[in-house]
Amino acid sequence: MINKIDLINELNKLSTKNYEDVFSFIMSFNNPIESKSDICLNCPHCGSVEFVKNGKTNKGIQRYICRECNKSFCDTSNTLLYRSRCTEDIWLKFIDCEISGLSLKETAYYTNLSVTTCFYMRHKLYKAIRNLKMKETLSSKVELDCIYTKINLKGTKPSNMPRHSKKRGNTSAYSGISHHKVCIVAAIDENDNMLLEIAGVGSESMEKYTKYTDKFMDTTLIISDSKPCIQQFANNLGVKNDKVPVIANKKRYTTNLGNSLGDFNQLATGITKIIKNSHGVSIRHLQDYLSFYLYKKQLHYRTNRKDHANIMYNLLKYNHHLSNKDTLNFDYPISLKDVFMNIDMGFLHNHQHLN
């Protein structure tokens, strides 16, 4: 018997490439796995393996009843598809639209769903991708730098705003890189392994990079600009830092060894495009968007485009269930106290959940 929790823990230890290899291996059998019960033989309520079949739902999904707790469940219980009225075909079409970068209105048109339904499906999909927690490590040559974006409180009710609401297009009170900008640590190696993580607010620093030291254990060279904090980080790792030199009145795009930040710049351009096309991404959901973009790029590098939706769907369909309410109630990845403490102390006192 295979315990579901132990199986998921073991799969989470795999890299994205190994995860896909395992999936491809399973699907190569003549009789592929047809239901959740084939690989996760336990009750989602009590964990017991003593259960029997108990008919099927109106959609033809197999139901079971547990002999230990007498509770019923089905193949989709507590999964991404739990209580979803969308069929597998609709989910596949929806995922394909998301991979193609369509807007919610365009996705709603092609899937014949409402914009609201697509909105919740998008956040369930993105959070499921983030929860995969692939153990990617960066090896050999790594291009490293930070990407900055504004703190976006999109979706926050006016009564809960920690600052005065801003109108789109207005300039910020703080120009350049300040504590009102989100700092995203971004890296990519020559094997297309990537890192995209929100590290905090304000300018990059040694502390921000140190949070992800475990991702650089196999790194042999860090390619970056000439910021001292990256040189210090490379010294702590014991690797060489190949820097693009700063020369007055002259632009340089390569290091003295001929390396460049071309792949990193492409990564940064993709993030900027996502934020622009979405008319801003709420800071509450920004890491989900980053995780989805990263995984989508990895699929693009390693598999055929026609297989992307199927691979993503099969990896995610047994992911933990999130209700519509759950998708909107995640904590902020940064401390708003550090950013807005001088603006509205009354707000911060009455909203302790902002960390």
Q: What is the pLDDT of residues 15-39, one digit of tens each?
A: 655 655 665 555 444 333 333 434 4
The torsion region of residue 6 among left (phi > 0), alpha (psi -120 to 50) and beta comes to alpha
Q: How far apart are CA 311 and CA 90, in angstroms?
A: 15
Tell me the H-state helices in the chain: 4-12, 16-27, 88-99, 104-111, 115-131, 206-210, 228-237, 262-277, 286-302, 308-316, 336-340, 345-350
Of residues 152, 208, 224, 159, the one with CA closest to residue 181: 152
User: Which class for 65: exposed (0-12), middle (13-18), buried (19 or more C-beta within 10 A)?
Assistant: middle
Average confidence (pLDDT) over 87-91: 87
Beta bridge partners of 214: none
Q: Look-up: residue for tokens 């390396």? A: 259
The torsion region of residue 55 among left (phi > 0), alpha (psi -120 to 50) and beta comes to left
Could you tell me the two tokens for 40? 């996760």
Whether residue 181 is predicted with pLDDT greater than 70 in this model: the reply is yes
Reduce the DSSP state of residue 273 to 3 states and report it. helix
Tell me the H-state helices in 278-344: 286-302, 308-316, 336-340
| Strand pairing category for 51-56 and 62-66 | antiparallel
Which segment of 93-102, 133-142, 208-217 scores lowest on mean pLDDT? 133-142
For the chain, the distance separating the N- and C-terminal CA atoms, rounded to the nearest angstrom, is 42
Q: How far apart are CA 299 and CA 353, in angstroms?
A: 36
Could you tell me the two tokens for 101? 């970068």
DSSP-assigned letter for residue 162: S
Of residues 335, 16, 340, 333, the one with CA closest to residue 184: 333
Handedness of CA 118, 123, 124, 126 (dihedral sign): positive
* Half-sphere exposure for 88 (CA within 13 Å, toward CB): 12
Q: What is the pLDDT of residues 275-299, one digit of tens each?
A: 888 888 988 899 999 999 999 998 8
Handedness of CA 18, 20, 24, 27 (dihedral sign): positive
* Half-sphere exposure for 205 (CA within 13 Å, toward CB): 11
Handedness of CA 135, 139, 141, 145 (dihedral sign): positive
Which segment of 109-113, 200-204, 331-335 scores lowest on mean pLDDT? 331-335
Q: Specify which of 30-39, 135-144, 227-236, 310-319 reaches the highest per-range mean pLDDT.
A: 227-236
Q: Residue 118 phi/psi, 5° resolution?
A: -65, -35
DSSP-assigned letter for residue 170: P
Of residues 145, 134, 135, the one with CA closest to residue 234: 145
Cα 91 to chain centroid, rounded: 18
Residue type, 59: K
In this prediction the pTM is 0.76
Could you tell me the two tokens for 340? 């807005």
Which segment of 31-45, 173-187, 329-343 scores lowest on mean pLDDT? 31-45
Whether residue 321 is predicted with pLDDT greater than 70 in this model: the reply is no
Could you tell me the two tokens for 164? 């005065």
Average confidence (pLDDT) over 2-6: 55
